[in-house]
A and B are shown apart, each in its own frame.
Chain A
Amino acid sequence: MAVAAYEQLRPTVVRAAPTHLEVADVSLTYESRRGRVPALDRLSFDVAQGAFVSVLGPSGCGKSTLLKLASGLLRPMAGRIRLAGEPVTAPRRDVGIVFQQPTLLPWKTVLENVLVPIRAMGRDASAGRERALELLRLVKLEPFAANYPHELSGGMQQRVGIARGLIHDPALLLMDEPFAALDAMTRETMMDELQRIWMSTGKSVLFITHSIPEAVYLSDRILVLSPRPGRLLHSVDVDLPRPRTIETMADPRFVALASRLRQAFVAMAEPA
């Protein structure tokens, strides 16, 4: 059975694995002319090597900020961020990122957009081409390789961004609501593809989402953040067997977990 095969492939070492990403006591306040906006408040958590960790939280609670910190685009004002034991001071080549917006270059074709990290890092683009086409097949966009972004729908553009985040085979993948712009059907296929890629490559993933079922379906652990400034409210382990499928969504444990998380959100929305 597929599940048993998976258990053999990836036993419970997930939790015993060494820390890949360490976020310790991290705070960040945006300073602008109109004042100070505290975005994250003493946030701490770890992502173990090969783990899939999701972040759930209300809009504006600092999720994208967290991703920028983890990628080295922003530096924390307090606390520290380490990747494989080293402090993150600048973006690293072993990290892939999928932004909340597609952020494609309008003057490059879909294929060239997927190759952007390869070219930016000065790697061999001819070898990257094969892989880029393979990733485009994966996100169901191979026929559009020669098109320009403005000829694609928002959801299609977002999928180009997903392929781009994977092109250089990063050890840590940071994803900011990558499936938010997709229709329900595509979203489900993408969830399965992501699970498959993750299971077969052993990447660590930090995955931001607004969708509770998506988080439960994909994650080993779910972090729930408070409204702005984001603090860690809950950390929930998900030990449903892998690979998860449509049937998993009907599993009583899945349903119970999703409804617990929903209640946590409802409690958050109520004034204290």
Chain B
Amino acid sequence: MMEPRHALDVVKAVVPPLATGVVIVAVWAWATRPGGLDAFVLPSPMAVLRALYQGWIGGTLLPHALATGKAALGGLVIGALAGLASGALIVLIRPLEYLMMPLVTALQSVPKIALAPLIISYFGFGLESKVFTVALLCFFPLFVAAATGMRAVDPRLLDMYRAFSASPLHILLHARLPAAAPYVFGALQIAVVLALIGCVVSEFVASTEGLGFIIKSGSGELDIAGMFAAILSLSAMGVAAGLLVKEAQRRIVFWS
């Protein structure tokens, strides 16, 4: 049985957003009532629901969602690992920071999305372009979080490890990395969103599959309800991934 306090917490967490959702859908239904807004501007909730049903149960959206999910996840993993490793490297080897930092700062101020067409002209229309774009976007938040977090470790813990003759690598793995974990999870939360954005933009530019492709072709065919269904599916994927990261953080960074 649930504790009364716990039950109250659940109610508090669920009821207010649900109420907001109901109000939004009600306003939406009212705005798109017969004689209201044109369906080409805003389709009715029922039309979007129908498109969603057809897309997911009928199976037309599923392969595209999978394609987007696969590219986003692949790019996220590669970009995040590269960011983590580079962040650790500049913390471990001080001089590297002076060599890398100007370059990284310069690259960071480039709107990476603007590179998507260029990347496609290098890597072609396939998965590689999407993965590369996503990895590039996800690299920076993880790099900054790793470098910041690994430096934010309590200096007394570093002294303690040094007093017991620990090697810099041992200190990195056992003190700096765990200390950076809260920062890394914060960055992952951002990277999840960036991964979906990068993937969809890449699909806008050139692709034959993915939710970005569905949205773009829906715009060409004036299938507004279908576009909305794809956008909602994308949001759901983003929310689910965000919750997953949050749950992983709760379990892994149990001490904070």
A: residues with CB less than 8 A from B are 68, 71-73, 91-93, 95, 97, 99, 101, 103, 105-107, 116-117, 119-121, 148, 150, 168
Provided the pairs A71-B163, A97-B163 are in contact, do residues A120 and B255 lie with their beta carbons within 8 angstroms?
no
Residue from B154, B160, B167, B170 with most neighbouring chain A CB atoms (10 Å)? B160
In the bound complex, how far is the Cα of B172 from the Cα of A120, in angstroms?
A: 11
Question: For the complex, is B159 an interface residue (Cβ under 8 Å from A)?
Answer: yes
A136 to B194, CA, bound (A): 48
Cβ of A118 to closest chain B Cβ, rounded Å: 9
Taken together as a complex, chains A and B put the C-alpha atoms of A97 and B164 apart, in Å, by 8
> Dominant SS at the B interface?
helix
- Rounded to whole angstroms, the CA-CA distance of A226 and B57 in the bound complex is 82
Q: Are B159 and A73 closer than 8 Å at their CB atoms?
A: yes
Residue of B nearest to A99 (CB): B160
**Contact present for B178 and A91 (CB under 8 Å):** no
Q: Are A91 and B162 neighbours in the complex by a CB distance under 8 Å?
A: yes
Q: Return A117 CB to nearest CB of chain B, in Å.
A: 4
Q: Which residues of A contact B165 (CB under 8 A)?
A: 91-93, 117, 120-121
Q: Contacts of B159 on A, CB cut-off 8 Å?
A: 68, 73, 99, 103
Rounded to whole angstroms, the CA-CA distance of A73 and B175 in the bound complex is 17
Looking at the assembled complex, report how far the CB atom of A122 sits from the nearest CB atom of chain B, in whole angstroms: 8
Question: How many whole Å from B254's CB to the nearest CB in chain A?
Answer: 8
Per-residue A-contact encoding for B92-103, CB less than 8 Å = 1, 0 else: 000000000000
Report 22 cross-chain contacts, Cβ distance below 8 Å, ordered by A residue: A71-B163, A73-B162, A73-B163, A91-B162, A91-B165, A93-B165, A95-B163, A97-B160, A97-B163, A101-B156, A103-B156, A103-B157, A103-B160, A106-B256, A107-B254, A116-B161, A116-B164, A117-B164, A119-B170, A120-B166, A121-B164, A121-B165
Cβ–Cβ < 8 Å partners of A91 in chain B: 162-165
Are A105 and B164 in touch, CB under 8 angstroms?
no
Q: How far is the CB of A57 from chain B (nearest CB, A)?
A: 21
From the candidates B156, B166, B254, name the one contacting A99 in the complex (CB within 8 A): B156
Which residues in B have their C-beta under 8 angstroms from that of A103? 154, 156-157, 159-160
